[in-house]
Amino acid sequence: MNRRYREIINKLLNAHRWTSVRELAILCDVSIRTIQLDINKINILLKDFDISINATKRGYYFTEKSKMILIEKDIIRTCLDFEYIFEVPTTPFERQMYILLNLTFSEKLYFEELTNKLFVSDSTLRNDIKLVKNWLKLNLGLKISISISKGIKLICKEKDKRNIIYWIIGKKTNASILTKYWNYLFRDTNPLNLFKETYDIVESEAKKFGYYLSGNSFMMFSLEILIAIRRYKLGFFLEIPYESSEELLPVIASLRSEIDTYFNIELPENEWLHLQKYFYSKQFLSGTNIKQIETSESENIVNEFVRVIDLKFNVDVTKHTVIKENLVLYITPMINRLKLNHRIPNPISHGIIKKFPLESQMALELSGILKKYLNLNTNPTQIAYITLHLVATNELWKQKLNTILICDFDEGVISLIKNKIIKYLGEKLFFYGLYTYADFIKEKEENIQQIDLIITTSSLADVTKIPFFRITPEFDVKYILELEKYIDTIL
């Protein structure tokens, strides 16, 4: 079953009118002709349900009756997803994931075996394997040996193979893809019920001990536990036991007891010590007891980061404990992820960095600190997250100019100017108050000594030493842009 079918049906199911073939082609990144062929094949599948995709000169659509049947009979999951799970990988990315996951189970894979299973040519397979090799080196620093006669072999230990699986499973975008990958691994097409039960146990135990994780972190840790159980049952054991000095956290010890009971299994302690390191790599939310996750190492890094941004950007976050606590919540597991090459549970767009230049410049200072003190290399995803943390709290630390408005016009003009100041320049200005020209002249100096900027419709030459920017009552876009430039020179 082609994965595009699901995307096409979902698009038409949620559309309020017809959708053009061009829109569908752009969505699926294929040609218009391919979409037309897909529509014909989808209609063959839907024929058993007495529904079809309707066509007009403008595009394609489902009738309201067809939409209702699609939803009520859960056709996407019960029909399309089921076929998708068993479908031979058809896209380059799916083939690469298939090869990677199978390498974690087989001592070696042979070219002829893979070309037969994947229905691809030797040249296509070689290109896929080359991309797999590059992916392993870039993300995990691992290697594979490639030989036409001896096959393809993954050169790493069991803990590294588990990490490969965790990275791939962590890239899932929905339940059907997760199930398909799970089927590649364990020839099991129904992991979702087990996953739900494991998730509930993990969430309950974590919160009982004062750990609050993001939803994606709870999901990933639940999957990591399930994969550890399956690998252990299949005879894939961790080669090197952890040092005897290491102990299980109370939360992990309690979780071990619950999981062992539920699955009727006794995972060795070194398995749980290994899982504990993954637990320490997750994203923690506010409400988590900072003392339970903070290390002396992360405390020193956060303190140095706070010192540097104060020195270079004149931003003192020590006045706001919530900012520092949030940094500890993120940076502590971040250090663990970077050390152990663990995947972040929920990557975000690197576009954040360009969108918030000031905060991203501050975040980049952390990159230098981690390199200097721990010899750790960060990546754009990590910088994007630190940027977001700073953006989320910039109302607390970002410098704003205390601003008053001097205006002798009526309420309409005053309201217009005030609203535009708040709407367009609210991040840089704090609106402190309103004066008429006469009131300002009479005001005592001690009452306005905290004012940084005056926006005025009157001339204040030789009246005050406070910086002022003169505008007309219209206060149009030109004035806003000029005022913003002027503010930046003061800040």
| Same domain (yes/no): 439, 482 | yes
Q: Is residue 232 in some structural domain?
A: yes
pLDDT single digits (tens) 408-456: 998 888 988 988 888 888 878 878 889 999 999 999 888 888 888 999 9
Inform me whether the pLDDT recorded for 193 exceeds 80: yes
Q: Find the domain containing 444 and state its range.
A: 401-490
Inform me whether the pLDDT recorded for 169 exceeds 90: no
Q: Is residue 190 in some structural domain?
A: yes
pLDDT single digits (tens) 23-44: 999 888 889 999 999 999 889 8
Q: Is residue 196 in some structural domain?
A: yes
Beta bridge partners of 145: 153
pLDDT single digits (tens) 365-385: 999 999 999 999 998 888 999
Inform me whether the pLDDT recorded for 290 exceeds 60: yes
pLDDT at 79: 58
Q: Tell me the backbone φ, ψ of residue 454, rounded to 5 degrees.
A: -120, 130
Q: Is residue 177 in some structural domain?
A: yes
* Other Cβ atoms closer than 10 A to 172: 17
Q: How far apart are CA 39 and CA 20, in angstroms?
A: 12
| Same domain (yes/no): 172, 118 | yes
| Same domain (yes/no): 237, 223 | yes
| Same domain (yes/no): 320, 386 | yes
Q: Of 79-88, 391-400, 445-454, which one has max mean pLDDT?
A: 445-454
In which order are the strands placed within the sheet that holds 468-470? 429-435, 401-406, 453-456, 468-470
| 93-100: long-range contacts, CB 8 A cutoff, minimum separation 24 | 94/3, 95/120, 95/128, 96/128, 96/131, 96/132, 96/135, 97/168, 97/181, 97/184, 98/184, 99/128, 99/129, 99/132, 99/152, 100/132, 100/135, 100/136, 100/164, 100/168
Q: How far apart are CA 228 and CA 266, in angstroms?
A: 12
pLDDT single digits (tens) 291-324: 999 999 999 999 999 999 988 887 888 878 888 8
Tokens of 235: 């005879």
Mean pLDDT within 105-112? 92
| Same domain (yes/no): 172, 193 | no
Which of 52, 68, 85 represents a domain boundary (last residue)?
A: 85
| Same domain (yes/no): 269, 294 | no
Pick the closest to residue 5 from 48, 44, 56, 49 (CA basis). Answer: 44
Characterise 134 by phi-psi region: left (phi > 0), alpha (psi -120 to 50), beta (else). alpha
Burial class (CB in 10 A: 0-12, 13-18, 19+), 275: buried
Domain at 357, CATH number: 1.10.1790
Q: Is residue 385 in some structural domain?
A: yes
Which of 68, 85, 102 represents a domain boundary (last residue)?
A: 85
Q: Is residue 285 in some structural domain?
A: no
Tell me if 350 sits within 8 A of 380, measured CB to CB. yes
In the chain, the number of structural domains is: 5
Which of 34, 68, 85 represents a domain boundary (last residue)?
A: 85
Cα angle at 315 between 314 and 320, to 5 degrees? 150
Stronger pLDDT, 394 or 485, i.e. the higher one:
485
Q: Which amino acid type is present at position 136?
A: L
| Same domain (yes/no): 29, 48 | yes
Pick the closest to residue 11 from 29, 24, 26 (CA basis). Answer: 24
Q: Is residue 284 in some structural domain?
A: no
pLDDT single digits (tens) 134-162: 999 998 999 999 998 889 999 999 999 99
| Same domain (yes/no): 232, 305 | no
Q: How far apart are CA 112 and CA 120, in angstroms?
A: 10
Domain at 108, CATH number: 1.10.10
| Same domain (yes/no): 379, 298 | yes
| Same domain (yes/no): 383, 303 | yes
3-state secondary structure the chain: CCHHHHHHHHHHHHCCCCECHHHHHHHHCCCHHHHHHHHHHHHHHHHHHCCCCEECCCCEECCHHHHHHHHHCCHHHHHHHHHHHHCCCCCHHHHHHHHHHHHCCCCCECHHHHHHHHCCCHHHHHHHHHHHHHHHHHHHCCEEEEECCCEEEEECCHHHHHHHHHHHHCCCCCHHHHHHHHHHHHCCCCCHHHHHHHHHHHHHHHHHCCCCECHHHHHHHHHHHHHHHHHHHCCCCCCCCCCCCCCCCHHHHHHHHHHHHHHCCCCCHHHHHHHHHHHCCCCECECECHHHHCCHHHHHHHHHHHHHHHHHHCCCHHHCHHHHHHHHHHHHHHHHHHHHCCCCCCCCCCHHHHHCHHHHHHHHHHHHHHHHHHCCCCCHHHHHHHHHHHHHCHHHHCCCEEEEEECCCCHHHHHHHHHHHHHHHCCCEEEEEEECHHHHHHCCHHHCCCCCEEEECCCCCCCCCCCEEECCCCCCHHHHHHHHHHHHHHC
| Same domain (yes/no): 435, 382 | no
Sign, Cα dihedral of 114, 117, 122, 128: negative
Q: How far apart are CA 106 and CA 115, in angstroms?
A: 16
Domain at 482, CATH number: 3.40.50.2300
Q: Is residue 75 in some structural domain?
A: yes
Domain at 77, CATH number: 1.10.10.10
Q: What percent of the chain has pLDDT over 90?
A: 49
| Same domain (yes/no): 116, 150 | yes
Task: Tell if the pTM clears 0.75, that is, is over it.
Answer: no
